[in-house]
Amino acid sequence: MAKRSIEDTSIVIVGAGNLATNLAKALYRKGFRIVQIYSRTKESAQALAQVVEADYTTDVAGIAPDAKLYIVALTDTALMELLPELVAGKSGQALWVHTAGSVPMHIWEGHVAHYGVFYPLQSFSKQREVDFQAIPIFVESALEEDARFLKEVGGALSKKVYEVTSGQRKCLHLAAVFTCNFTNHLYALAADLLEKHGLPFDVLLPLIDETAQKVHVLNPHAAQTGPAIRYDQSIIQEHLHFLAGEPQMQEIYRLMSDNIHRLALQDRQDSSPHHNM
C-alpha cells in the first residue's frame, strides 16, 4: 500500500448527522480535503458540503470511487445494511473506517482490504461545535500501517489518541451511555419535576457544573454525596413519598439510592484495615 501523507488525504464522509457534521468541520479546519458528503437527504448533504467545500450525493452508487479515506458515520443499523453497497466499485487501496462505539471492526472483513475504526468519544450536536483538541479519539485497525495512519489523522485533531480493541471500545461506549445519556435523562426528569412545581431548571446549573468539575480532581466514588450514601432513611422515605404520583421516577430513585448505598458500604469494606491485612 502506497505511503499516505496527511496533506494529500482525500476524504469522503458518509453521513451528515451530529458526529459526521462535527468531524467533517474539524477535519476541514485542519486542512484535510473533504471531497464528498453522502446523506440520504439532500438538505443535510448539501448543507454540510457547502461548509467544507465538498461535493455531495444522496445516492450510494454516486459515492466517489477513488478517495483515500472513507469515514462512515451512520447509525449502526444503516451501516450494516449499506456496507456492501458502500464499498462496491471503490479503490482497493482505500481505507474504510466507521465511527460506531459498539460495532466490532470485523464487520469490514471480506469487503475491503484496509479497514478500521475511528471513534471520537463525545456527545455531538449539529447546533454546538466542540473543541476536538480535548476529545479522546480511539482507533483500531487490522494492519499496523493503517493504525499508524489513523493515529496520525486523529493526532491532527486531538491531543488524546489511543489504539484500542473492539472489546475495549464497546466498554467505552457503555461507560459513555452511563456518563452522558443516563445522566442527561436524569437532568430531564429533574427539569420536569421542577417545572411541575413552578421552578426553572437553570437553578440546578451551578450544582451540575460543580459536580462535573469535582470528578476532574476526585474519584467518582469519593465525590459522591447526598442522603443515599449516608442511607438517611428519613429523607429517602420523604422523597419517595413526594414521588408517589410518579411511579417510574420513584422506582429510579429507589434503585439509584440502593445502589449508591451498596457501593458506599463496599468502598468502606475495601478500605478497612482488616480487609487489607
- Note down pLDDT in tens along the chain; length 277 residues: 445 457 578 999 999 999 999 999 999 999 999 999 999 999 999 999 999 999 999 999 999 999 999 999 999 999 999 999 999 988 789 999 999 999 999 999 999 999 999 999 999 998 888 899 999 999 999 999 999 999 999 999 999 999 999 999 999 999 999 999 999 999 999 999 999 999 999 999 999 999 999 999 999 999 999 999 888 999 999 999 999 999 999 999 999 999 999 998 887 777 666 555 4
Predicted confidence at residue 1, as pLDDT, reads 45
Same domain for 178 and 153: no
Same domain for 209 and 139: no
Domain extent, residue 236, equals: 170-276
Q: Does 256 reside within a domain? A: yes
Q: Does 134 reside within a domain? A: yes
What's the whole-model pTM score? 0.86
Q: Does 1 reside within a domain? A: no
Same domain for 159 and 250: no
Q: Does 44 reside within a domain? A: yes
Same domain for 228 and 197: yes
Same domain for 108 and 182: no
Q: Does 151 reside within a domain? A: yes
Domain with residue 258: its CATH number is: 1.10.1040.20
Same domain for 270 and 148: no
Q: Does 153 reside within a domain? A: yes
Same domain for 192 and 152: no
Same domain for 159 and 177: no
Domain with residue 157: its CATH number is: 3.40.50.720
Same domain for 131 and 30: yes
Predicted confidence at residue 75, as pLDDT, reads 92
Give the domain-ending residue among 110, 135, 164: 164
Same domain for 145 and 53: yes
Count the domains in the chain: 2
Same domain for 243 and 149: no
Per residue, the 3-state secondary structure of the chain, as one string, reads CCCCCHHHCEEEEECCCHHHHHHHHHHHHCCCEEEEEECCCHHHHHHHHHHCCCEEECCHHHCCCCCCEEEECCCHHHHHHHHHHHHCCCCCCCEEEECCCCCCHHHHCCCCCEEEEEEECCCCECCECCCHHHCCEEEEECCHHHHHHHHHHHHHHCCCEEECCHHHHHHHHHHHHHHHHHHHHHHHHHHHHHHHCCCCHHHHHHHHHHHHHHCCCCCHHHHCCCHHHHCCHHHHHHHHHHCCCCHHHHHHHHHHHHHHHHHHHHHHHHHCHHHHC
